[in-house]
Structure 1
Amino acid sequence: MIDVRAVDAVHEAEFADWQRAMSTGFLLAPVLSANQLADRRRYFDQDRLLGAFDGDRCVATFRSFAQEVTAVGGALVPSNAISNVTVSPTHRRQGLLTRMMSRDLTAAHERGDVLATLIAAEYPIYGRYGFGPAASMTEWTVDVLRAGLDPHWSGPADGGRIDLVDGADVRKLGPELFERYRRSLPGAVSRDTLWWQLNTGVLDLGYRPWTEPYHAVYRSAAGQVEGLVTYDADGAWSGKHPDSTAVVRSLIATTVAAQRALWHFLCSIDRVTKVRSGRRGPDDLLPLLLPDPRAARITGHGDWLWVRILDVVRALEARTYGGEGVLVLEVVDGAGTAGGRYRLEVSPEGASCVPTRAQSADLTLGAAELATVWLGDESLQRLAALGRVQEEREGAARKADALLRPSGRPYCPDMF
């Protein structure tokens, strides 16, 4: 019998074995150095590691940690973030993920988390646990020579300035900037101190060799830090001509001026002929900031942040809506606690959601479909056309879309 249980992280051999199993599942080097193990011990919440053990050997891994997700309107919603989910190739199709997921989601609900979140490595896995893809990402590659930008650009024309900084500066300036940034971005998730240490090379978890990137900040004419970009460059040549690609690891900006300046900066670096944007929101301004938007070619697009609703009332009351109205939703959740009928009343002043049996439903949908529309990126009319949402009243999906869908699309800048 395979035992699914909490990992005794204090026991060094068991913690190392869990890490070996996780690395094996992700096809990473299964042996870690003592320093890498020590950094993982600092980075991981040791009270929320689960493992499946066949005898003394760990054969499946699961980790969760505390997180906040920005709802439509800017509220920060407590969430249970899930990561490092693996099952060893010798123990697939034995229900180990289901056992770990059920245990973790039960604990999250009992803690009072409103949501659970994850980044799905494979699309078909998580829908059966009530998760739905709630925010997507897009990647662009900019042909700098076609973009039409001023080749003699030497800095922002708005009185702002761009400065190169190092990792220590990023750890100082980045957290406060990101706090302002994430409150305006539905789908953004929180970053703690350890995140900034990991992404500036202070921590080494052994996932990939660390290479020191470049960092640049944009300051407004008033001296306020409004943007930060981290990027690499490959130094490539084509024949006798420099042909380098700048690859963005992260770009955050609280103003359009900062976005414009940082993208122009990247496209103006000597020897750079292409800029790869990294993961961006699907409605990012990048193409429209170029005189020739066609110079930005989409080179990647797909689902990104997946959400699972654990508390329907708090999830629907946390966000804002695009008008006034009442919806009654019948939520079907065979694998959790979201099931039931809910009356949602919304207005510019706020939202009220209560369980009800006094009214019949306008729409019937599964927990995964509710999660998919919670951030407003998907249309209930589309889901109804696909047979994934049932209209109990004609026109209810159109009415719901008018309330649920915001003017901009959600986006999660982070991998976790």
Structure 2
Amino acid sequence: MSTVKGDRRAQPAPAFAGRRWLFPSALIHALDPDAGLRGRRPRRTARDWLVDFSCFFLAVVVGLLAADSMTPQNTPHALLVVDQWLGALSCAAVWLRRRRPVGLAIAMIPVGFVSNTAGGAGLVAFFTLAVHRPFRYVAWIGGVSLALVPLFFWLRPEPEMPYLVAVAFTVLLSVCVIGWGLLVRSKRQLMLSLRDRARRAETEAVLRAEQAQRLAREAIAREMHDVLAHRLTLLSVHAGALEFRPDAPREEVARAAGVIRESAHEALQDLREIIGVLRAGEADDTGRPQPTLAALDTLVAESREAGGKVTLDLRVADPEAVPASAGRTAYRIAQEGLTNARKHAPGAEVTVSVTGAPGEGLTVHIRNPAPEGDVPHVPGSGQGLIGLTERATLAGGRLEHGELADGGFEVRAWLPWGRPSGE
């Protein structure tokens, strides 16, 4: 793994890390995610040295063949010397083709027009230009060079080849070399585009994983609030009652202490399960089953045992037939409504009404009148109702809440309940 300091994340090393000598240094530099940070040119690989030496050898061979075809009878001696010196310098300049492809190609136009032995170096220069630079450079420089070919053979005719044949052969050879270079460049661009696609796919996968983790944590946070708020509210209400009524009868004190002990035990159990899910890294189903609408009777009975006055009006023919998502959401809405009623209206009678049928939806209505007398202050952030609204919206329903004219409070929610697929 290669790590970049700063805000950049650790990125995996390129797949060619163990076979760098098989790839061009320019391609490795383009594929290396840290190349721009180092600020230096890539070193030649073994493949680069082999290709550069082959190009140099090709330029020398072509130059020697051209020099062998030149004789003092058809070429002045001074021009022969100049031609060969320029050809030797052009072959040596081939080693600079990677650093200065444009400059070398431009320089080879006048040199190639004067020197016949520099033809091989010129072909190598145009090939390098096509590989390392965009097409507009190849079009302009290559076009000028090809336009001068007829003039070159007009001034220096080939003794063993007709004029038109020599021009056509040279133009065809130059076009083939440039086309080969463009093909090599297109293959490299394809590899770079595939690299970019792979990186984008990897980045999107990381973002999707992070989003899934965030959604899972939000779901766990909502579940933690719904479960623990109910338990801890019982603790707070009964502890507050003991604080404000120290002279309460022994039976009432014992019952309140029992509720506090049982609620604390349940809260610890719920917290232990939630922490276990967080440690496991995923929301699995290893804990207790999630509550459904059928567990609403148990929730109301628990509230009554804690001293609450709760009236349940469950007008659903078969609570077990309610979809799990809708039933679980309805249960959490009723649980939060009872929790808020115990917080802000202790002693008031709470009415929980649940009605619905397949195709009509499920309606949950929780209502409590205004509290009597002074109410002990129980801290709260109001996030419970916000979380319930989000939960109902995610389930495809809606939730409304607010104060009544008589000072009471109500929560009304509707959840979708589609018909069975067979109907």
Which category describes the TM-score, using the shorter chain as reference length?
A: under 0.3
Q: Would you tell me which structure has more helix in proportion to its own residues?
A: 2
Q: TM-score, normalised by structure 1?
A: 0.19
Q: TM-score, normalised by structure 2?
A: 0.18
Pick the structure with greater CA Rg. 2
